[in-house]
Each structure stands twice: as C-alpha cells, then as structure tokens.
Structure 1
C-alpha cells in the first residue's frame, strides 16, 4: 500500500507540474491582478478538481466516459471557453495592471477569478475520465475502489494546490517587473496564445 501511494504521489506530481491551462490561468491572474486573484483562481481550480474526483469515486465520470454525446458536448463547451479566454488575452491593450484593494472591487474580482478557475475545470471532461482511468491503477487490493479513488483524488488536489501556490509566489515575487504596461500586455497576449492552443487541442482531440 505504501509503495502504491508513493508511486501515485510521484506520478501525480509529474502530471501536476506539466504546463497546462491551470498554471497558465493562475499565472495570468496573479500578474494582472495580484496574489489575491491568483489565490481565488486556484481555489476555483481546486473546486473543479474536487468535484471531478468525487464524481469519479461515485462512478458519475464513468457514465460520462461511456456517453459519447455528453462527453462531446462538455468537451466542446470547455474548448470554447478556453478559446474565449485566449482570444480576449490576445486582444489585450497596453494598460497598467492594478490590484483592486477596495472591498467591493476586490470581492468582485476574486469572484470572477474563482469562477474562471472553476468553470475551466468543470467544463473539461478529460479530468473526470483521467480520474476514472488513472486512479484505479493505484488502488490496493482489498480496498473499496470508490473510497480509495476519493482519497487518491484528494492527494492529487493537495499536490495541485502546492504547485499553484509556488506559481503564485513566483509571480508575486516578480510583480514589480511584470506589471509594467508593456510587459503586462505581452504576458497577457502570451497567456492568451497558450490558452488558445489548449482550447484547440481540447476541441480536436
């Protein structure tokens, strides 16, 4: 059991640090609006992952995997959302990045960042299929597949939280340089291009 757990931690860690939409969104939010926005985006991402982990443990994600129509609808919706975020980034104008410190503005910005992170994950059926196909390989003999999958999913969520916390810390440390208008515009456009590529990949795969 210990061997399977360590193997899962190592394998999941490699997957978590692989560049993807989550890291891109958190980096983008932190650079544009500060660590609070990056944290809110991270919480949204973790919410989406937790929902998919729970769905996989309950077998709901397996139903989605078996239904080609439902999978396609969710996949296309997720791809279109990534494309929307990407195109908006590509069209970004050169403006100073400002962290809104007002209570009302900060709360609204945090809510938008949270919704972006959660929506991106909830509209990605590949996450649910990933949990259904990947987690069972690390379930010890004799244990409930559902309970073990839920526990492993929680480990994956924790590893994701740790990695995204590092992304926020690194981006915050470079905030003074990254928030110059010219740099902000280039970063936004770069992040937008990456999100467009991820959207196309999801749409065509």
Structure 2
C-alpha cells in the first residue's frame, strides 16, 4: 500500500506541474486582482477537484461518462466558459491604479471586465466543474494505484486527497513567488502582451475541450 501511495504521489506531482486551464485561471486572477483574488480562484479549483474526486470514488463520474448527452453538454458549457473568459481577458483594459495595486499584491479598487462569474472562487470552481475530462481523469487514473485487496472508495478518496493537497502546495508556491513577476507585469506594454497571450491560451483550451472527445 505504501509503495502504491508513493508511486501515485510521484506521478501526481508530475501531473500537477503541467499547466492547464485551472492554473491559467489562477494566473488570470492574480493579474487582475492580486494575490487575494488568486487565492480565491485556487480555493475554487480545489473545491472542484474535491467534487470530482468524491464523484470518482462513488462512481458518479462513470455515470457521467456513460451519458453521452450529459458529457457533451458539460464539455460544450466548459468550452464556452473558457472561450468567454479568454475574450474578456483580450478585451480588458486595466487602469493604472489597478496595475499598481496588483504589483503590490493588494486588491484593486475596481474590477476588470469579466464579472463575478469570471473571477475569484467562482471562476476556479466553474473551470473545474465544467470540464468533465477532470472527472474522467480521476476515474481512470486513481484505479491504477489501488491495491487489489484495498477498499476502492476509501482508497480513491485517500489518493484524491493527496492530489488535492499537492495542487494546493503548487498554487501556494506559485503565489509565494509571484511578487517579482507581478511587478514586472505591472508595466503597461508588458501587461497588455501578457493579457493577449493569456486570453488566446484560454480560448485554445476552450477549443480543445470542445473538439477532443
């Protein structure tokens, strides 16, 4: 059992370090609202992961995969949401006071375009819950590390919990090291280019979610 957990932990670290839409949403919130907004987005992402882990442990993810219409509908909704956030990021025009606040790690006085559903905790949890591939990932990834004589549901929750904790550690390190990067990105031209790249990548993630089975 210990060997399986250790192997799972190593594999999970490698997966967590690969940037995906959830990481990009956290970075987007970091740029738009500083560390506090990024922390809220991180908590949203981790809440979504917990929901999918519990769903995988209880077999709910399998039901979602079995229902073609539900899976397709969730994929389309997730793709539209990522695309909408990407477009909002491309169109955003941060004010000087926002850039100064973000560079200092404080909360800007005014929000950028995107509304409540595109920022903070809501953005993080929707990015995960509207991506059925996260549920399928846990449903297919976790069983490979469960010993034959171990309880499936309990062990799945244990392994999923490890994955969530590793994700929390990754986001914590990312935010702890973000100060110099945010000060660099507070420069107007640099910030505009970062917004463009971030927006295009979010749109690309949305297209990928829509077209890949």
TM-score in terms of structure 2 length? 0.88
Q: Is 1:183 aligned with 2:190?
A: yes
Aligned pair partner of 1:131 in 128, 133, 138:
138
1:152 and 2:162 matched:
no
Deviations 1:180-200 (A, max 9, x none): 222222211111111011001
**CA RMSD of the aligned region, Å?**
2.2
User: Contact 1:139–1:149 (CA<8 Å) still a contact in 2?
Assistant: yes
- Deviation per residue, 1:2-54 (Å, 9 max, x gap): 11111101111111111211211111211221111111110000000000101
Measured against aligned partners, the alpha-carbon deviations of 1:75-108 in whole angstroms (never above 9, x if no partner) come to: 11001100000111122235332456489x8xx9
Corresponding residue number in structure 1 for 2:77: 77
| Larger RCO (alpha carbons 8 Å, 6+ apart) | 1
Count of aligned pairs between the two proteins: 202
Residues 75 and 124, structure 1, Cα contact 8 Å, conserved in 2: yes
**5 Å matches for 1:168-179?**
168-179=175-186
Verify the 8 A CA contact 2:33 2:107 in the aligned structure 1: no
Q: Which residue of 2 aligns with 1:57?
A: 57
Asked if the contact 2:79/2:206 (under 8 Å) is kept, the reply is yes
Q: Which runs of 5+ in 2 are unaligned?
A: none
Equivalent residue, structure 1, for 2:68: 68
Unaligned 5+ runs, structure 1: none
- Paired residues of 2:45 and 2:125 also in contact (CA < 8 A): yes
